[in-house]
Structure 1
């Protein structure tokens, strides 16, 4: 099984959706696991501060 990687722009869009929708709805809408969304919420500050390539975070 391979690990799915998501671009930072996708993660930021998911975080915006989480401001108005529940994690259940966002997970279904974007076809992403709820646990993944919660991890992104924990990384929110790091993701928002990132200035490099919007494809991946190093």
Structure 2
């Protein structure tokens, strides 16, 4: 059996299953119950200092 054929069969079966499991795991991690606050905080970063400049303490970080 040629190496290409062997690798092609592996990619068509087990690698596809592995990548699907990784995808499902990542979706479960993103949409887990405790992550909403973290995602909302990250999404609002550009609007934190919309009305006034950042204080000196926050600007140095």
State the TM-score, normalizing by the size of structure 1: 0.25
Structure with higher helix content:
2
